[in-house]
Amino acid sequence: MFFRNLTFFRFPTDLDFSELDTRLAEVPLKPVGPLDLSSRGFVSPFGPQGDTLSHRVENAIWLTVGGEDKLLPSSVVNDMLAKRLADLEQTEGRKPGGRARKRLKEDLVHELLPRAFVRPSRTDAMLDLGHGLCIVDTSSRKSAEAMVSEIRHALGSFPAIPPNAEVAPRSVLTGWIAGEPLPDGLALGEECEMKDASEQGAIVKCQHQDLQGAEIAKHLESGKQVTRLALTLDDHVSFVLGEDLVVRKLKFLDGAVGQLESNDHDDMRAELDARFALMAAELRRLFAVLEPALKLSRVDA
């Protein structure tokens, strides 16, 4: 259940979550209706067998929004629509007008929806109450905003906003490759993306590359700036940090996972509980390193 991508939001640390479980129980995931395209609601972080809609370890809360989406490819709808239109043209001797075509398409969608396949999905988030952090397991800003909206809908109010960097993230990332000292605990990985400063400039993607080698130095000399950079933190986690402040390709390394292997867990629930506690601690440490380095904004300030 380790998160793989991190999109950050900040919220005031004085928010009251005492009625969280009661509020979540009012907005559970419901099966998508026969004529609906999708459904969203909270589900147990522990899966179908879970009996709670949230899980808390100290000041960290694990939330999961489940989804059901009807799969109705536009190509299928358009093919059937073309056949219906051809039949009407042959029957009536004239092509249907715009309004008739629109109405026919709407009727066709309603006819197909009850028979469409349903694709389930889930999005996980962690709330760090002590630091006012909402971390969503996605690299998609749209999906992250949707998760925050579901929390806001459940609570009635959830003033969470993405953090802003007071310094340009790409200048910080470029400086780290160029030789400026990294924050304590951080080390360069072997992957980066560089872009020319001009709007239509070249884009260079490097993998399995010495980021302080001569080839990278030439790109820096030509004016390219780093927009994504692979890093590791204390041999506990590796990740790719983007100028959009999204963490991608998050991976927990032996330095962190080894702590789990040293503990015995009798059941899957205990195993997931231990993994969440470990992840929460590592994500706190990671954000604590990134916050001053990028001068990230707070909502309490």
Determine the straight-line distance between the first and last CA of the chain, rounded to whole angstroms. 33
Nearest-angstrom CA–CA distance, 256 and 242? 23
What tens-digit pLDDT sequence spans the chain (301 residues)? 799 999 999 999 999 999 999 999 999 999 988 888 899 999 999 888 888 999 999 899 999 999 999 888 888 888 888 888 888 778 877 777 788 788 888 888 888 888 888 999 999 999 999 999 999 999 999 999 999 999 999 999 999 999 999 999 999 999 999 989 999 999 999 999 999 877 677 888 988 888 888 888 888 888 899 999 999 999 899 999 999 999 999 999 987 887 776 555 567 777 888 889 999 999 999 999 999 999 998 876 5
- Supply the DSSP symbol for 211: T
On whether the CB atoms of residues 42 and 123 are closer than 8 A, the answer is no
Nearest-angstrom CA–CA distance, 301 and 299? 6
In 10 A of CB 90, how many CB atoms?
8
- Predicted local distance difference test score (pLDDT) of residue 263: 57
The two three-digit tokens of residue 170, written as one number? 């790409």
Q: At what angle do helices 98-112 and 74-92 cross, to 10 degrees?
A: 130
Place of tokens 């390394």: 253
The two three-digit tokens of residue 148, written as one number? 């925050």
- Predicted local distance difference test score (pLDDT) of residue 20: 95
Q: Which helix (H) or strand (E) holds 176?
A: helix 169-178
pTM of the model: 0.86
- Predicted local distance difference test score (pLDDT) of residue 161: 95
